[in-house]
Structure 1
């Protein structure tokens, strides 16, 4: 289950997710995403960013900096759904023996 934080200030907010360790087989597969998570997170970021915003991302880190507060909840929900979906797919593949 992804743990995403939203830090709000008066006008801007940061949305942050940092990688946590999963069971060994799942962990190994997640480390082989080869930028997939980063690229999808960047697409989400582009829908909520402004001229002041910054993106920091990899397959182990998502950080949207200085997005407008009004976009903060959606900007947190989408990466949550993305990460949760990827983890579910990886677990399903492990169960199927792929």
Structure 2
């Protein structure tokens, strides 16, 4: 390995790691949040599950899991989501 490569590798390894994501309602309902992060919230942060329900990226499997696990406000969030689906489908 050349000196230049060693310096480049040192600089890359000397950089501090990215800070951890602070889990908030905004993170839970943001469509740019990774599915891995959403699953982490669904499995480990019951008070934010209701916000994952509002995330357009949350798929049926994730919503089913959240429904089964429950948590503060989850039932109400799922009710609103299902009502919105019905409204969009039927137009009433």
TM-score, reference length from structure 1: 0.28
State the structure with bigger RCO (CA 8 A, min sep 6), 1 or 2.
1
- Structure number, greater radius of gyration: 2
How high is the TM-score relative to the length of structure 2? 0.29
Higher strand share: 1
From the two aligned structures, give the one with the greater helix fraction.
2
